[in-house]
Copies of this chain bind each other. A is one copy, B any other.
Amino acid sequence: MHVVAPLDSKSVDNPPKAAVRDLRRVDIHPNHWYPLAWSREVKRGKTHAVRFAGEPIVLARTESGKVIALEDRCAHRQVPLSGGVVDGEAIRCGYHGWTYDCSGKCIDVPYLGRERLPNGVRAYPCREAEGLIFVFPGDAALAETMPLPPLGSVADKAYKTRRFGREVACHYSFMHENLMDMNHQFLHRKQMGKMRARSLGRRRGDDWVEVDYTFAREAGQQPIGEALVFGQSRKSERADHKDVMTIRTQYPFQTLRIRTSDGTIVMDLWICYVPLDREQRTNRTFGLLSIKRPKIGALLDVAWPLLVWFTERIFKEDRWIVELEQAAHDAQGADWNHEVFPVINDLRDLLRECGAPAARRVIPIEPSAESVAV
């Protein structure tokens, strides 16, 4: 696909900045709800180890079915609590049996009296919605004031949703830029054929940026996989599509919607890229891809395996290229990108502005408290 120069680009773009922060070293802001696991991964009575930006977190579904999230380190010997066992509504460390409730409080050390229990571990606000387990890794006092993000059309029976994702070895910003820049469809030429994208304009707010596209086929047959996602072209091969694709980064999440001329959303993607390591050079992607059911609902079910295959192929190519971008950044030691597309430069500014402050990276040192009296 090719993008025609956007309609609103008469405005002068920002001049090159002297000392901007290296976007690939901007940490994601922790004061949001992040999906850290699929609900099905956290089974009743079991623990499940996850990470957020290098912080080890244990999720556990207690006997009552509630999911809790604690720092994944026993206060005693620092071993992961995820190696322990769920005991009623609590987690018991697998080494010496120290036990923590859902608030992180230590409620039992088998060989100490109850009156002299040591301090516990950090607990994280935790919620479950639409098959995802969300954790608030930042300032817990803000969690209540912050709603869970809307998850597209996943709750609407008129849509069928595919849940997908995988670990990708790159900074989350490469993921945002990859999805928002439709010029990269050259990468998917085997799946998508030759398409011409037209940018209809971009919009920006304090914590979001979005862009609209329409598409025209330049040559060749429309691949069947694409027809499933984008809808079949209705007149001739050379006619412009009337469908409009809107891609939006609503920090820190991203959505992609395709609307027909009558305003119906035929495809609704919600996606989030969660940093795994402290350097935030890897992320785990959680995606919800909702497709509007056609009048004969079974058609979509029949075509579903093909749609899965098609999106997996696209996702695999995207993963390949963004991991090469990260590798180039690592080799060059800085961000050498020469971005020429204004939408993407807006997006880059947004990700820098909404990210965590630069001073956040501190290696915590806690003096070892020796010889606590028994």
Contacts and interface: CB of A to CB of B under 8 A. Distances in A.
Interface stretch (A31-39, A183-191, A241-249, A353-361): A183-191
Interface stretch (A8-16, A231-239, A284-292, A302-310): A8-16
Interface stretch (A128-136, A141-149, A325-333): A325-333
Interface in A9-43: 9, 12-20, 22-23
A78 B368 contact: no
B363 A348 contact: no
B338 A76 contact: yes
Given A17-B370, A348-B370, A371-B16, A94 B337 contact: no
A158 interface: no
A83 B325 CA distance: 12
A109 B370 contact: no
Interface of A: 2-6, 9, 12-20, 22-23, 54, 56, 73, 75-80, 83, 92-97, 109-113, 118-119, 181, 183-184, 186-187, 197, 320-321, 324-325, 328-329, 331-342, 345, 348, 363-374
Nearest to A83: B324
A345 B370 CA distance: 7
Given A2-B111, A76-B340, A332-B364, A94 B370 contact: no
Interface of A is mostly: loop
B79 A12 contact: no
Contacts of A335: 368
9 contacts: A12-B373, A14-B370, A19-B367, A23-B368, A77-B337, A96-B181, A110-B183, A119-B338, A341-B374
A322 B95 CA distance: 10
A112 B9 CA distance: 13
Nearest to A12: B373
A332 B364 CA distance: 7
Given A80-B324, A368-B336, A96 B184 contact: yes
A183 B324 CA distance: 46
A199 to B, nearest CB: 9
A125 to B, nearest CB: 23
A193 to B, nearest CB: 14
B365 A79 contact: no
Given A76-B338, A79-B328, A337-B77, A369 B187 contact: no
B76 A337 contact: yes
B112 A340 contact: yes
Contact of A13 (B112, B186, B374): B374
Most chain B beta-carbon contacts within 10 A, residue among A4, A15, A339: A339
Given A13-B374, A16-B370, A337 B78 contact: yes
A148 B345 CA distance: 46
A106 to B, nearest CB: 10
A63 to B, nearest CB: 19
A247 to B, nearest CB: 16
A95 B342 contact: no
Given A4-B111, A14-B370, A340-B372, 14 more contacts: A3-B111, A5-B111, A13-B373, A13-B374, A16-B367, A19-B367, A77-B325, A95-B187, A111-B183, A111-B197, A333-B364, A336-B368, A337-B368, A348-B370
